[in-house]
Amino acid sequence: MRIALIDYGAGNLHSAGKALMRALDEIGVTGHVVLGADPDEVARADRIVLPGDGAFRDCRDHLAAIDGLEEALHAQVRVRGRPFLGICVGMQLLADLGEERGETAGLGWIPGRVVALDPQSPGLVSRHLKVPHMGWNTLEARRAHPVLDGLTLGPAGLHAYFLHSFHLLPAHATDLLATADYGGPVSAIVGRDTIVGTQFHPEKSQRLGLKLLANFLKWAP
């Protein structure tokens, strides 16, 4: 299995690459992770992962600046239906529009907008929880999906590591696979066709993260 891990100058590729290799091990599939931004490599990939640490606009500019990359991603994911995973900003870029530091167009693969978190808590004097939403939180499944198979979710379930101030609000409720609770629902996993995206970092989320990555690699839509 060839996994293309897209390097567009957004940080933390090492952890994502290592976690994917470990997930390959766990499912007993031989394969390798190819780190880069070569459109030909994307065209050959069986799985495509778009990581992301950074600001929406900056990441979007970097992605657009790589010659032929967006076209290759579109052909491989949207036309040929190869499974795609976006992580954090890599997930947010799937939306139509991001609102971080001015409005920026996204890839538009999952209809919706990326908006600032505004967590409210009636119990606090200020009524506002801290932003960024930073740390470990549990997930609630919104609908069944192969990437969630065998994951213990709910308040007593496993935790995922979040680090963000914005989240993707899908236009269609069916595109929302899981949420976290932080002063209201926070979009944690989105999915549509052969595309999934996680707001949290599976590569930093220990058991839950590795299991989700393994599910993504096993997924044959």
Partner 1 sequence: MSLKTRIIPCLDVKDGRVVKGVNFVDLADVGDPVESARAYDAAGADELCFLDITASHENRGTILDVVRRTAENCFMPVTVGGGVRSVEDVRALMLAGADKVSINTAAVRDRAIVGRAAEKFGAQAIVVAIDAKRVNAPGAADRWEIFTHGGRNPTGIEVIEYARAVADLGAGEILLTSMDRDGTKAGFDLALTRAVADAVTIPVVASGGVGTLDHLVEGVLDGHASAVLAASIFHYGTYSIREAKAHMARAGIAMRMD
Return residues touching partner 1 (CB under 8 A).
Answer: 11-15, 18-19, 22, 53-56, 58, 89, 100-101, 119, 121, 126, 128-138, 155, 158-159, 161-165, 180-183, 201, 203-210
**Active-site annotation holder among 41, 59, 88, 164:** 88
- Minimum Å distance from CB 163 to partner 1? 5
| HSE-up of residue 52 (Cα within 13 Å, Cβ side) | 27
Beta strands in the chain (DSSP E): 2-6, 32-36, 47-50, 84-87, 97-98, 104-105, 112-116, 133-138, 140-141, 159-164, 166-170, 176-181, 185-192, 195-198
**Active-site annotation holder among 133, 164, 167, 201:** 201
Find the helix or strand (DSSP H, E) in which 40 lies.
helix 39-44
* Strand-strand pairing, 47-50 and 84-87: parallel
For partner 1, the closer of residues 98 and 170 by Cβ is: 98
- Minimum Å distance from CB 182 to partner 1? 5
- Minimum Å distance from CB 165 to partner 1? 5
Catalytic residue status for 88: yes
Catalytic residue status for 203: yes
For partner 1, the closer of residues 105 and 134 by Cβ is: 134
- Minimum Å distance from CB 89 to partner 1? 7
Asked if residue 42 lies in contact with residue 50, where contact means CB atoms within 8 angstroms, the answer is no
- The count of other CB atoms within 10 Å of the CB of residue 89 is 28
For partner 1, the closer of residues 14 and 80 by Cβ is: 14
As annotated, the active-site residues are 88, 201, 203
